[in-house]
Amino acid sequence: DGERFVLVSHAPDSDSWWNTIKNAIAVAGEQMNVEVEYRNPPTGDLADMARIIEQATASNPDGIIATIADYDVLSGPLSNAVAKGIPVITINSGTEEQSKAIGALMHVGQPEFAAGKGAGEKAKAAGVTKFLCVNHYITNPASVERCQGYAEALGVELGDQMIDSGQDPAEIKSKVMAYLQTNPDTNGILTLGPTSAHPTLAALDEMGKAGTIHFGTFDLSSEIAEAIKSDVIAFAIDQQPYLQGYLPVVILTNLARYGVVPGNSINSGPGFVTKANIALVEKYAGEYR
Amino acid sequence: MADTGEQTIEQLKEEIRDERLRETSRLRKMFIRPELGAICGAILVFAFFLVVAGGSGMFAPEGIINWSVVSAQFAIIAVGACLLMIAGEFDLSVGSMIGFSGIVIALMTVQWGLPAWFAIIVAFALALAIGALNGYLVIKTGLPSFIVTLAFLYILRGATIYISIATTRKTIIGGVREAAEGDPIAWLFGGKLFSGLFVWLSDIGIVDKFVAGPKAGQPVVEGIPMLVIWAIALIIFGHVLLTRTKFGNWIFASGGDSQAARYVGVPVNRVKILMFMFSAFCATVFATCQVMEFGSAAADRGLLKEFEAIISVVIGGALLTGGYGSVIGAALGALIFGVVQQGLFFAGVESSLFRVFLGVILLLAVILNTYIRRMITGER
Amino acid sequence: MADTGEQTIEQLKEEIRDERLRETSRLRKMFIRPELGAICGAILVFAFFLVVAGGSGMFAPEGIINWSVVSAQFAIIAVGACLLMIAGEFDLSVGSMIGFSGIVIALMTVQWGLPAWFAIIVAFALALAIGALNGYLVIKTGLPSFIVTLAFLYILRGATIYISIATTRKTIIGGVREAAEGDPIAWLFGGKLFSGLFVWLSDIGIVDKFVAGPKAGQPVVEGIPMLVIWAIALIIFGHVLLTRTKFGNWIFASGGDSQAARYVGVPVNRVKILMFMFSAFCATVFATCQVMEFGSAAADRGLLKEFEAIISVVIGGALLTGGYGSVIGAALGALIFGVVQQGLFFAGVESSLFRVFLGVILLLAVILNTYIRRMITGER
Amino acid sequence: MSAPLVELVDIEKHFGPVIALNGVSVSVKAGECHCLLGDNGAGKSTFIKTMSGVHKPTRGKILVDGKERTFSSPRDAMQAGIATVYQDLAMIPLMSVTRNFWMGREPERRVGPIKVFDFREANEITMNEMAKMGIHLRSPDQAVGTLSGGERQTVAIARAVYFGARVLILDEPTSALGVRQTSNVLATIDKVRKNGIGIVFITHNVRHAMAVGDRFTVLNRGKTLGTAQRGEITAEELQDMMAGGQELAQLEGSLGGTV
Amino acid sequence: MSAPLVELVDIEKHFGPVIALNGVSVSVKAGECHCLLGDNGAGKSTFIKTMSGVHKPTRGKILVDGKERTFSSPRDAMQAGIATVYQDLAMIPLMSVTRNFWMGREPERRVGPIKVFDFREANEITMNEMAKMGIHLRSPDQAVGTLSGGERQTVAIARAVYFGARVLILDEPTSALGVRQTSNVLATIDKVRKNGIGIVFITHNVRHAMAVGDRFTVLNRGKTLGTAQRGEITAEELQDMMAGGQELAQLEGSLGGTV
Ligand SMILES: Nc1ncnc2c1ncn2[C@@H]1O[C@H](COP(=O)(O)OP(=O)(O)OP(=O)(O)O)[C@@H](O)[C@H]1O
Ligand SMILES: Nc1ncnc2c1ncn2[C@@H]1O[C@H](COP(=O)(O)OP(=O)(O)OP(=O)(O)O)[C@@H](O)[C@H]1O
Ligand SMILES: [Mg+2]
Ligand SMILES: [Mg+2]
């Protein structure tokens, strides 16, 4: 009892999406009676994240849960942790292959490019030919990959269909409006999370285009759920972050206590949340969903 | 005694006529003003985008509203930063203050269910108190405001994130709009004015109407957002305060030479603390408008806004070291900032290049402004 | 003539004995130094974490390497910022420069397949050129370096993002480590020293060994990372340069009063431009070490690092306005910064509170430093 | 003779361990020019800052028209009619002459509900007052930075006089000025004095003091060495008092004559 | 008399539209003190800045030991033996006395492959040179900010003398100083002159000039009004020349005597 695990994410302090995972580890920690610490680089600098993993390793926890935001940067510190005999589970970003190469027990997550591509396939089916990918986090490689996956599924060049929107909601909104005005033939939108989705909703609403453009987004929030219900957003890609936080804690605890561990990686997503399955999602959006 | 005076004046008049400066001075006086650089800049920028993006809808009513809103945002914080900078200090905690105020409002309304008007008042009170603390520390310790407000940049941001996570387990808090429905104060920040006017304008064909979707038949421009009204109000307030009142003279004096001002009885400490509070006030107006418009607050709002405010002010001709500047200039700086940012979009330029443009414009603007300032003040 | 001199000395000696200052001056001289505040701070911080996080592995060999590396990172940019600040200027473009240099190296090696040593040399050359441009603009235009380097903060970051997206459609470029395998220069930035020593240490049980995986049997601390070596080398270089050489005296003079220095023949412009270049050099060392260690470069690397460098320097006792400071102080500032940042993790404190701590430490440190400085320099 | 307008009795002022003033008494009467002389660090500036409300005395009394007063800010002293023109800090170069002239006491005018700075009146008065002092400005909007040193001093003096100063304190107004500008300032002092204003004139320069002074007080290391009437003392005696007499003797052998 | 060490012939200096100097000729001989007088804005500072290599003259020649030279920086002028002590900009208060003393010409010592600042020697020489000038320092590490105004001037003069200045230029060294400090500085000038160094001494104060000057040149509006030997001219005549004669006459009626 009382095992100590550390979860290291790549997200800056203020990234809201990670709260679901924080809540998940809190729940799991309580249920399993273990201690789980959440750590992240305050500004989202991946080099800082590598230091945090090294530091976590130095503190000899019973297990480390980490994202593979950048394989190059993180493979070293993570494989050192493995070599030190600390069980590692990778979550969220990164691929199964990378996880194996590091020597982690398993990967719980969703590959970003594939998720973007999944979104793109749905969009293609809905007849999207020209789209806008609102990237509020242009410096994060995963964000760019999502846009690229979407573009590839549509079979078009990404080009300047991805915009660097910044994080300020009013600016995002204005930029989306400006883009849609200058590119009126745009018939698909992809946003990469609530930060860009909310202002985009406001922009569409103000331009009277709500519901006329095929709109997909990553991740959930109460506003997004509302928009799915009212047919403005077609789908939200839900990688079920709750599982990414909850499962590794449970698995690591069981490994520590009874030496049991599943043999394969787990895909927590992509799950598509649409009007059909919104009801349950909505209740916990932003907290457990 | 009177004789000596008279005689000397006559002599001096002679001398001045010699200088051959007097004839031009009237013309110069009209043109050579602190905001001249910003005026030229604004004209150039508009000319540029009229050529480059004239056909892209940038100057249609919707387009105008589009860049106006962005400029208005910059202007709101620029007015605060401008007065503070003229008073000789500056504030790096503006961005963190925006995040902080937003979360305070959202927490109180959504999480604790308090009425929106109460939350807004509390947020303003807190912001003013923190602004006063900033000013108090700067004055008491004699440290440069760069350091003190840099410390608050970190403290406030950290506290905001911590508070929002500790109380709600989220760093983004939504649902404020619903909670503020029908509130007696909230519309002051989130509403739109003159909707009727725009309906009429669309009826006579000046403004387009939506042709499809749920809003078909309504004008494409719904009204003037309160954000713009606030910006205009703050600009007018700041401009009148600075150039037309006693207090404005004190602001200039405090920034120009605080010791000299203190000696003639200007309450410099009070002026500076009040300006720190005003800067915090503007940040909170910004935050409240944003929260009310988008219905959510996030702990990371306002990142790097302090720089954007300072850039607007500096483009507008103010002196980084205080004692010189103009609110109109700062507003024009904000306009330039907003128009360039959105204009590049309308013009279809790769959006990451925006930062490069911004840097170059900043450099050119300050060089021009320095030249103008030297002509006015006789600095060397 | 000699008589007058002698006599006056005698008189003065009398007077000085009266002052009753002389006896204490030797003791004071030993203690009252620019870095005193930082020394006290460092002792306090270590004492604090020994108590709070003593059992968490923070002071085990791996733990020590961990916070040493973080501190070394801060120290590398702090040394550059320190010398520049003492020379009377500062550089807000350090963070953007880190991102820029990293992308340049990664692009050249991975994308264009050029040898790593060539890429590194080109990156340094570009950085030095940009540093020189920064300095040149500051000196030619007479603008405050705050404005000029703020412009470059935006220009460089924008250019970095644009270049990396335009050429690779990504903002992160990986695979540098593989491309740099066996390179004659690259190991200088990415390697580790004294591996033998640590193998021995692990054999005698002082350092743990890996127990699993391909590295089983090797010590958990592989060696001293080159980053730390660079930091130490730069600190020594900076300290010797500043306190022991002619050029160091010129740095102080340029920052203390550039006009006075110019009049006695100090080549102030050269000194300042060289310091801007040195600051850019340090940023590039930082970037190259990071790229070589982690094997990838990203356009967002180094965000806000300029503030962290300035904070380290200021905690270390330097004066924001130039002419006063110490490299050892800046290094201690970096150490405090690194230890607090990592220590809070070891102590398990909520990470968002880190910023609050940082802000408070900054405030306390500068207040203490101001007090010490006044004692030394007779400022009022 | 008339009663003193302002009288400072036994003023002491300590800055931490430093004793800047150690019992100084000085009085100023209407229409007289009281010169305060003393070497560097004698405490002249500290004394007049006490008089003008910048510093609070550690001990001692300030009497205005015979009644004891305490000044807690420069404003208080100004309200009591004591105006000061500081050596370096007279003016803010970036601001216009009018703004400088009225700084701290801007005239106001109602426009609807708000009070605004009455520029029309302010400009007019500024131009007039400056003209009375013999300075003709190009425009009241001219930045003070474009004026010469003597002109700036004159703006500061004109300002103090206009605001009904009954006592005008001048801290080394002439030390950076040339002969012509100096004589201008001295003439101004003379003019002002004739209007019945009491003047405290601080200088290192015995000649300047002798030219306009009615009474002379010499400070040395925070103490008064005594006060003399005009005519009771020669320039040479004053000089000796200031320097303490000794070094100067040595110098004179080599150089001859007074400095 | 000996040949001039430095001679400036017909110097003109324009700043854009401003003509600061319009044909000024001045020479300095070994062991003499040449006083440069003139009102504010007469061009004194501009002239000596030309002489010390800060400004390049628009027209005119600079002769050192009879040979024409051009100075492209203050360093050049210093190498030619011309050292300058500026009014406000003499010293950097935050730095130690030694560092200030040696600023720009630090003594070096080899330690292995690198050259380092030789502090031991520097400190010793500084203490000695200051002692020669009559200033005894507590420690050479003492910050200049803790010295008095006169002491700072002396450090600057000692520095210039030590570095083998053959011509020493002093820009208003006495304007902010008290009597005692002034007489100290004047005594120092006298000492230095006796060592065979030529001195250019700029002042507004005719008394100070008369006390040490061998020759006097008056500048007015960028032009030389003439040069006089000691004894050829009285203080009153000098004063009149500086002021242009007219206003002063008015003043004298009211005030009596010279200023
Ligand atoms: N704020 C202060 N704190 C500590 N000491 C002070 C302060 N102000 C003045 N002093 C000291 O008090 C003494 C008197 O200074 P003061 O400025 O009054 O001299 P002064 O007669 O005006 O000299 P000067 O002729 O150089 O202007 C000096 O020793 C000075 O160092
Ligand atoms: N860098 C410059 N640019 C433009 N004009 C200048 C510059 N330097 C000096 N001047 C002008 O040249 C003239 C002479 O100035 P200078 O400083 O030489 O006078 P000065 O005799 O030293 O006066 P003071 O006694 O006040 O020191 C003045 O009119 C001044 O305004
Ligand atoms: Mg004084
Ligand atoms: Mg001069």
Kindly report, residue by residue over B229-267, the tens digit of the pLDDT: 999 999 999 999 999 899 999 999 999 888 888 888 889
Q: Is the pLDDT reported for residue C194 higher than 90?
A: no
CB-based burial label for C237 (10 Å; 0-12, 13-18, 19+): middle
Compute the average pLDDT of residues B115-144.
Answer: 94
Residue the block writes with tokens 């503007």 = B282
Kindly report, residue by residue over A49-59, the tens digit of the pLDDT: 888 888 888 88
Nearest to D54, CA basis, from B139, B264, B51: B264
Q: Are strands E223-229 and E4-15 parallel, antiparallel or unpaired?
A: unpaired
Output DSSP code: residue A160: G
Name the residue range of residue C138's domain. Answer: 29-377
Which residues make beta-bridge pairs with B297? Answer: B173
Cis peptide before D93 (omega within 30 of 0): no
Mean pLDDT (chain C, rounded) = 85
pLDDT band for position A65 (cuts 50, 70, 90): very high
Mean pLDDT (chain D, rounded) = 81
DSSP C70-113: HHHHHHHHHHHHHHHHHTT---TTHHHHHHHHHHHHHIIIIIT-
Long-range CB pairs of E133-136 (<8 Å, 24+ gap) are E133/C5, E133/E157, E133/E158, E133/E188, E133/E191, E134/C4, E134/C5, E134/C8, E134/C9, E134/C12, E134/E184, E134/E188, E135/C8, E135/C12, E136/C8, E136/C9, E136/C12, E136/C13, E136/C16
CB-based burial label for C80 (10 Å; 0-12, 13-18, 19+): buried
What is the per-residue pLDDT for C28?
60
Smallest CA separation from ligand 1 atom 4, residue: D15
What is the C-alpha separation between D90 and B263, in angstroms, rounded?
A: 9
C248 lies in a domain? yes
Find the chain D residues whose C-beta atoms sit closer than 8 A to any C-beta of E: 38-42, 148-150, 175-184, 186-187, 190, 204-208, 210-212, 239, 242-244, 247-248, 250-251, 254-259
pLDDT band for position B85 (cuts 50, 70, 90): very high
Q: Is C184 or D89 the better-scoring residue by pLDDT? A: C184
Helix (H, G, I), strand (E, B) or coil at D116: strand
Q: Is the pLDDT reported for residue B15 higher than 60?
A: no
C5 lies in a domain? no
Calculate the alpha carbon distances from B257 to B91, B322, D48, D143, D151 in Å: 19, 9, 20, 14, 19
Mean pLDDT (chain E, rounded) = 81
Output DSSP code: residue B353: G
Q: Is the pLDDT reported for residue A226 higher than 60?
A: yes
pLDDT band for position E185 (cuts 50, 70, 90): confident
Phi then psi dihedrals of residue B196, to 5 deg: -55, -45
Phi then psi dihedrals of residue A66, to 5 deg: -145, 155
Compute the average pLDDT of residues B129-134.
Answer: 96
Which residue of chain B comes nearest to A42, CA vs CA?
Answer: B158
Phi then psi dihedrals of residue A233, to 5 deg: -100, 130
Q: Is the pLDDT reported for residue D127 higher than 60?
A: yes
Calculate the alpha carbon distances from C47 to C32, C62, C118, C340 in Å: 22, 19, 45, 11
Convert E236-259 to b/e letters by CB count within 10 Å (16 or more is b): eebbbbbbeeebbeebeeebeebb
What is the per-residue pLDDT for C270?
95
Compute the average pLDDT of residues E48-70.
Answer: 88
What is the C-alpha separation between B73 and B289, in angstroms, rounded?
A: 9
Q: Is C198 or B68 the better-scoring residue by pLDDT? A: B68
The residue type of B171 is T
What is the C-alpha separation between B367 and B376, in angstroms, rounded?
A: 15
B19 lies in a domain? no
Q: Is A89 or E239 the better-scoring residue by pLDDT? A: A89
Domain E4-91+164-255, CATH: 3.40.50.300
What is the C-alpha separation between C131 and C126, in angstroms, rounded?
A: 8
* Cβ(D41) – ligand 1 distance below 6 Å: yes
Compute the average pLDDT of residues B340-359.
Answer: 83
B7 lies in a domain? no
Find the chain C residues whose C-beta atoms sit closer than 8 A to any C-beta of E: 1, 4-5, 8-9, 12-13, 16, 21-22, 25, 29, 240, 244-246, 248-250, 252-253, 256-257, 259-267, 319, 323-324, 376-379
Convert C238-254 to b/e letters by CB count within 10 Å (16 or more is b): bbbbbbbbbbbbbbbbb
What is the per-residue pLDDT for B18?
36
Compute the average pLDDT of residues B337-364.
Answer: 85
Calculate the alpha carbon distances from D167 to B188, C296, D188 in Å: 53, 74, 14
Q: Is B54 or B361 the better-scoring residue by pLDDT? A: B361
> Between chains, do C310 and B150 touch, taking CB under 8 Å as contact?
yes
What is the per-residue pLDDT for B14?
42
Q: Is the pLDDT reported for residue C93 higher than 90?
A: yes
Contacts of D155 (CB under 8 A, 6+ apart): D90, D91, D97, D100, D101, D130, D135, D144, D147
Q: Is the pLDDT reported for residue C31 higher than 70?
A: no
What is the C-alpha separation between B220 and C327, in angstroms, rounded?
A: 60
ipTM: 0.85
Which chain C residues are closer than 8 Å to A18 by Cβ?
A: none
**Cβ-based neighbour number of residue D125 at 10 Å:** 18
What is the C-alpha separation between D141 and B29, in angstroms, rounded?
A: 9
Q: What percent of chain B has pLDDT over 70?
A: 90
Structurally, how many domains does chain B consist of?
Answer: 1
Q: Is the pLDDT reported for residue B379 higher than 70?
A: no
**Cβ-based neighbour number of residue B335 at 10 Å:** 27
Among D45, D88, D223, say which to mutate for ligand 1: greatest number of ligand atoms within 8 Å of CB. Answer: D45
B370 lies in a domain? yes
DSSP A194-239: HHHHHHHHHHHHHHT-TTTSEEEEES--HHHHHHHHTTSS-EEEE-
What is the per-residue pLDDT for A215?
93
Asked if E212 contacts E206 with a C-beta cutoff of 8 angstroms, the reply is no
A–C: how many Cβ contacts below 8 A? 128
pLDDT band for position B352 (cuts 50, 70, 90): confident
Asked if E26 contacts E36 with a C-beta cutoff of 8 angstroms, the reply is yes
What is the per-residue pLDDT for C95?
93
Q: Are strands E33-38 and E198-203 parallel, antiparallel or unpaired?
A: parallel
Among E11, E46, E205, say which to mutate for ligand 2: greatest number of ligand atoms within 8 Å of CB. Answer: E46
Output DSSP code: residue A5: E
What is the per-residue pLDDT for B210?
74
CATH code for position B280: 1.10.3470
C1 lies in a domain? no
pLDDT band for position D181 (cuts 50, 70, 90): confident
> Between chains, do D183 and E251 touch, taking CB under 8 Å as contact?
yes
Q: Would you say the C-alpha torsion A72, A77, A80, A84 has a positive or negative sign?
A: negative
What is the C-alpha separation between D218 and D42, in angstroms, rounded?
A: 9
Distance E43 CA to ligand 2 centre (A): 5
What is the C-alpha separation between B67 and B74, in angstroms, rounded?
A: 11
Q: Is the pLDDT reported for residue E248 higher than 60?
A: no
Least confident of A49-63, B50-64, C335-349, D133-147: D133-147
Least confident of A7-16, B16-25, C31-40, E244-253: B16-25
* Cβ(D13) – ligand 1 distance below 6 Å: no
C20 lies in a domain? no
The residue type of A176 is V
